[in-house]
Homo-oligomer: A and B are copies of this chain.
Amino acid sequence: MKRLLLILVLASMALTTSAQGGRNFARTEFPRVNDDNSVTFIHNAKDAKWVTLIGDFTLQDGKDQRRFEMTRNERGVWSVTTPPLRSEIYSYNFIVDGVRICDGGNMMRLRDGENHFSSVIVGGDRGDLYEVQDVPHGELHTVWYSSPTLEKDRRAVIYTPASYASGKGKYPVLYLLHGMSGDETAWAELGRTAQIMDNLIAQGKCKEMIVVMTNGNAWQQSAPTHSGGRAMQHYRNRQQGEASFEDSFGDVIAYVEKNFRVIKKRQARAIAGLSMGGGHSFNISRLYPKTFDYVALFSAAVRGFNDDKVQAGLKAQRDNGFKLYWIACGTDDFLYKLNCDYMKYLDSIDFPYTWRESDGGHTWRNWRIYLAELVPMLFTE
């Protein structure tokens, strides 16, 4: 029955498309998550010679599979059904005769740096955590703040929990930093921050908090996707002044603490980041003493810890004390060894930390998991 339905839908799509000439915006139910968590994808391209589905898929046995060849029916509709997949949010593209494109029949898209992906959620477990559920929803603020240090206005995305808008109370703050080639939209878009926070708060699994997602590229004002060509040039032009993103971080804190109702204490500040943002968190948590009681490094680029000045800073950070220093990395991550070396150094100076080793590599799948595991540990005292 399902197979018949698929054939009928594909046939009607082909008719629709040919009637519309070049348009291929058929209103379809694809990608379709089937009852067994396999997913069926289709792409309508009668003149294509080969079409491949690529994405960050994980089969139910935990094995990763990146590519699926698609097959063409007699009407020129290409399709493939994956094996059952783990519950997750997946990003994918079609490669059509060598050109990588998004799925024209799927509205849901994600941008990772300069690359756009189509996206599909397989529910039931983690996928449900990344989905908008019927729970109270927080607000995403797309703001601009002044950075005197970097001599420009810069954009940030700030999550406030559902209770914030109509309440009077003050909240703790998690500063959440992206990686190389990301920008201020990355955590909200690829990291599903608002959904994870809304759902964990509704489940009573974490404290209500504000999450501040900055742009960590000191030469940029903002992601260019909202800002036109002028900002696109800024985006790519890595020329920057003397000051680093770390140097400018006080500007972000000052903006947040002036414009949002936040608790201005180290016990109510956390900083976490992935990859380059993990390196930023490693630096900022040390360079701003007694500012952050919670620090988390996700697949972090913890470079420079052999430097004398950095080591003196780490010893001072240890002596100043903190509540959590959480280091998470996947065993397949190209930064895994660097993190292990860093922890050997931390051991040598009795610097307390918590180690979270996961499977997998340098991927958003891991960073979403780390975020969902981190936030229940924050602001617990």
Contacts and interface: CB of A to CB of B under 8 A. Distances in A.
Query: How many identical subunits does the complex contain?
Result: 2
- Chain A contact surface mostly: mixed
A258 B167 CA distance: 11
A261 to B, nearest CB: 12
Given A139-B141, A141-B141, A130 B99 contact: no
B228 A22 contact: no
Given A95-B22, A132-B231, A27 B102 contact: no
Interface stretch (A39-47, A296-304, A352-360): A39-47
A320 interface: no
A155 B137 CA distance: 9
Contacts of A162: 144
B236 A24 contact: no
A24 B141 contact: no
A22 B52 contact: yes
Contacts of A139: 141-144
A23 interface: yes
Contact of A224 (B27, B108, B115, B229): B108
A101 B141 CA distance: 31
Interface centre among A102, A107, A134, A165 (most CB of B within 10 A): A107
Nearest to A130: B228
Interface in A66-103: 89, 95-102
A270 interface: no
A341 interface: no
A109 B27 contact: no
Given A23-B100, A107-B111, A236-B27, A49 B52 contact: no
A101 B98 contact: no
A228 B121 contact: yes
Interface string A225-239: 111111110011000
Contact of A153 (B25, B47, B137, B231): B137
Residue of A115, A189, A227 with most chain B CB atoms under a 10 A cut-off: A227
A75 to B, nearest CB: 13
Q: Which 8 A-B pairs have the closest CB atoms?
A: A137-B144, A47-B97, A132-B227, A140-B142, A121-B228, A22-B95, A131-B228, A101-B101
30 contacts: A22-B52, A24-B98, A25-B115, A27-B236, A45-B97, A45-B99, A46-B98, A47-B97, A99-B101, A100-B104, A101-B102, A102-B102, A107-B223, A107-B235, A109-B116, A121-B228, A127-B228, A131-B228, A131-B229, A132-B230, A136-B144, A136-B153, A139-B143, A140-B142, A141-B141, A141-B142, A142-B142, A143-B165, A144-B162, A189-B226
